[in-house]
Amino acid sequence: MSAGEEMVEVELTDLLAQSHEQALSLQRSFGARMDEAERVREAQEQKHTKEMHTLQQQVASSRSAMEQMKQDLLEDTTRKLNDMQSAVMASQRAIEAGVKEQARYWKSICQELVAEKRDMAQKVAEERGKYTALKVHIASHNDAAATAPTRSIACTTRREELVDMRLNGLPSSPVLSCHSGLASGNQTMDEDVSPCFPERKGDADSTSASSTPTNRSSRMVVVPSSSCVGGPPSAKASPTHSSSSSLASKSSFRRYYLAQKRDSRMIKQ
């Protein structure tokens, strides 16, 4: 073998050795990089696994917390709703009881007002009847007081005529007729005045009883003492006496009316 071939062979051998060494170094570096990448990937996978596990735990805890919150909210809402319903029912029952009580109260007041109105109407009717009777009584008293002086004057005139006839010695028959006329006039006047002066009825009866002519002496006594002449001054029905009697009747009616009014006020209170 020549020297040139040996040199080429040596150079080729060196070149192959260098290529092999470079290939081995590249293989070692690639393996190291692959190992590093594998370690990084595994670390990342572990990290991701841990993160996923942590996230799953958080999701589970959040879900359990949400379930607990939901359950608590449902229980609280149910409890509050039940409390509100019970409060509403109690308030409704209280309102219904109050309305019924107010209805009974106002019904009793209306019944009392109706009864009081009926009583007041009855009292007003009674007072109106009493007032009407008193008014009629006062009117009859005033009429009797107004007609009494005229009848007294007529009786006085007849008495004077009778006395003149007795003094002139006229027959007794005119005296009897005049006396009977006087007696009838006295009786009529006493009947008219008797509602206002009850005490005059006995006098009228005694006068009419004593005026029955039995003899001439009784006629002579009866004529001058006849009650139609007027009798005592206290028995005459003068306008002053009638006005005072009317005022007394009105004052007594006023006192009676005020007493009734006070009684009605006391009953109302």
Q: How many CA atoms are closer than 13 Å to the CA of 13, on its beta-carbon side?
A: 6
Q: Which residue do the tokens 């005026």 mark?
A: 211
Torsion on CA atoms 45, 47, 52, 57, rounded to nearest 10: 150
- Domain locations in the chain as residue ranges: 147-237
Note the residue count of the chain. 269
Q: How far apart are CA 69 and CA 81, in angstroms?
A: 18
CA 259 to chain centre: 27
pLDDT band at 6 (very low <50, low <70, confident <90, very high): confident
Tokens of 113: 């007002």
Alpha carbon distances (Å) from 63 to 55, 56, 71:
12, 10, 12
- Model confidence over 22-70: pLDDT tens digits? 889 999 999 999 999 999 999 999 999 999 999 999 999 999 999 999 9
Please report, as a single letter, which amino acid is at residue 41: R
Q: Please write the tens of the pLDDT for every residue from 98-143.
A: 999 999 999 999 999 999 899 999 989 888 888 888 888 888 877 7
Is the pTM higher than 0.75? The answer reads no
Element (H, E) at 202: helix 200-210
Q: What's the average model confidence in pLDDT over 240-257? A: 59
> What does the pLDDT look like over 210-230, one tens digit per residue?
344 344 333 333 334 333 334
Tell which residue, 196, 197, 194, has the closest CA to residue 139: 196
